[in-house]
Amino acid sequence: MFLHRRDVTIEWGDCDPAGIVFYPRYFAMFDASTVALFGAALGYNKFEMLSRFSIIGIPMVDTGAKFLHPSRFGDVISIESQIASFRRTSFNVQHRVLRGETLAIEAHETRVWAGRDPQDPARIKGVAIPDEVKEAFAR
């Protein structure tokens, strides 16, 4: 399926006193990669995606990562992201981080295509992922 790759420079502020990336920063990078993946497949940005489909976001319900090799400020990593599967209201994403030829991190995500609950707007509720969205990734 559709794969998106982007290069990310590890910044000084991404790193901790051991000189390597503070791992929560990787999850922020993965979030941006998932957004970039949808942007590349759909052809418009997340702001327009939310407005077009009347959703409030694609919140995380389950995520995990294996950190195989640390990176430090000044390194450039490559993040490869793709949809692993779509279900009715949720979907899985996989990320692979490469530093040169070395596989540095493997991560997975389960997210929900989420709107406001019509019964209670303070609550978030999974809604059906439009076919138009699924088809954009099948190309």
Which positions touch its own copies (CB under 8 A)? Answer: 9, 11-13, 15-20, 22-25, 27-28, 31-32, 35, 45-48, 56-57, 59-68, 70, 72-74, 114, 124
Determine the Cα angle at 21 with ends 11 and 41, to 5°: 70
Pick the closer one to its own copies by CB: 17 or 118.
Answer: 17
Backbone angles phi, psi at 22, to 5 degrees: -70, 115
Pick the closer one to its own copies by CB: 45 or 85.
Answer: 45
Which is catalytic among the residues 16, 62, 117, 131?
Answer: 16
Q: How far is the CB of 86 from its own copies (least distance, A)?
A: 19
Q: How far is the CB of 130 from its own copies (least distance, A)?
A: 19
Cα–Cα distance, 53 to 113 (Å, whole number): 10
Pick the closer one to its own copies by CB: 27 or 131.
Answer: 27
Q: How far is the CB of 13 from its own copies (least distance, A)?
A: 5
Is residue 7 among the annotated active site residues? Answer: no
Pick the closer one to its own copies by CB: 15 or 83.
Answer: 15
Which residues belong to the active site? Answer: 16
